[in-house]
Amino acid sequence: MVRKEEAKTCAFCGYTADGSFEGDICPQCGLTFWKCAKCGFMFTASAPPDICPGCGEKCNFLNVTCYTPECGGPGHFDPRL
């Protein structure tokens, strides 16, 4: 029996695709930057995981993608967060 992958939705632009995004990067908008609220580890993904890849614990994640021209716009992280 073949298992169908779940649809993935980009946390940044809302784009939805069947299965995973290649490299966990949204093909529509490019990137979503996530930061662990516990250890500060930053990474890009379509959605935050249950377990932080940095500290290995269940943590809250902040979307630190830049949405304004002051920090470079999408494709950059906002250093103020």
Whether 40 has a pLDDT exceeding 90, the answer reads: yes
Predicted structure pTM score: 0.60
What does pLDDT average to over the chain? 78
Q: Domain tally for the chain?
A: 1
16-18/33-36 β-pairing: unpaired
Q: Which parts of the chain are beta strand (E)?
A: 7-9, 16-18, 33-36, 42-44, 61-63
Per the CB < 8 A criterion, the answer to whether 25 and 38 are in contact is no
Range of the domain at 70: 1-81
Whether 6 has a pLDDT exceeding 70, the answer reads: no
The 10 Å CB-count burial string (b at 16+, else e) for 48-77 is beeebeeeeeebebbbbbbeeeeeeeeeeb
Could you read off the pLDDT of 8-34 as tens digits, one per residue? 776 567 778 787 766 556 677 766 789
